[in-house]
């Protein structure tokens, strides 16, 4: 994915595909997924999930990643073809500067270009701040999700 136009202060959105690019994303993703044991685990898991369509879009200032969105285009009987956002996080030092909104805006464009009917994401029921942000960005809370643990995993 070629870099897109800067969104502010020299920040550009572009994909993270190579091991080096994914490694640069680790300090940000571990704020959302603190159970990751290190950058090697993150890179291996993201690379493995890429076989099932997982992609990473990142907000970059130079070589530094400020925010990321992990997503995939998939299909099911509920949504038809849709873009699912697995991960969306801005590093704590850069929150409230429009990076999450910029990532969601670009994901919306990607989803439309790929023939998706919806953009779908999940968030914890207790994450009120994220829910407010998603509603502000035009997402609707129309789905109730349930989880049953089947093994040891955070």
Domain positions in the chain: 11-136
Q: Does domain 11-136 have CATH number 3.40.630.30?
A: yes
- Please report, to the nearest 10 degrees, the dihedral formed by the alpha carbons of residues 5, 9, 85, 47 taken in order: 80
Picking from 20, 64, 56, the residue whose alpha carbon sits closest to that of residue 39 is: 20
pLDDT tens digits, one per residue of 10-63 = 899 999 999 999 999 999 999 999 999 999 999 999 999 999 999 999 999 999
CB contact at 8 A, 101 and 59: no
- Distance (Å, rounded) from C-alpha 4 to C-alpha 92? 23
- Distance (Å, rounded) from C-alpha 43 to C-alpha 21? 9
Tokens encoding 69 = 């969105």
Picking from 58, 121, 131, the residue whose alpha carbon sits closest to that of residue 90 is: 58
pLDDT for 5 beyond 60 = no
Structure confidence at residue 4 (pLDDT):
57
pTM score, two decimals?
Answer: 0.90
């Amino acid at each position: 994915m070629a870099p897109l136009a800067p969104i502010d202060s020299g920040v550009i959105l572009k994909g993270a595909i190579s091991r080096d690019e994914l490694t640069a994303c680790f300090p940000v993703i571990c704020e959302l997924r603190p159970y990751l044991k290190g950058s090697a685990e993150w890179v291996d898991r993201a690379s493995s999930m890429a076989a099932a369509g997982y992609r990473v879009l990142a907000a970059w200032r130079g070589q530094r990643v400020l925010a990321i969105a992990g997503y995939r285009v998939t299909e099911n009987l509920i949504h038809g073809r849709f873009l699912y956002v697995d991960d969306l996080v801005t590093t704590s030092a850069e929150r409230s500067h429009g990076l999450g909104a910029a990532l969601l805006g670009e994901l919306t464009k990607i989803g439309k270009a790929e023939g998706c009917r919806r953009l779908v994401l999940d968030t914890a029921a207790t994450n009120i701040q994220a829910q407010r942000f998603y509603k502000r960005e035009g997402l609707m809370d129309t789905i109730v999700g349930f989880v049953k643990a089947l093994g040891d995993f955070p």
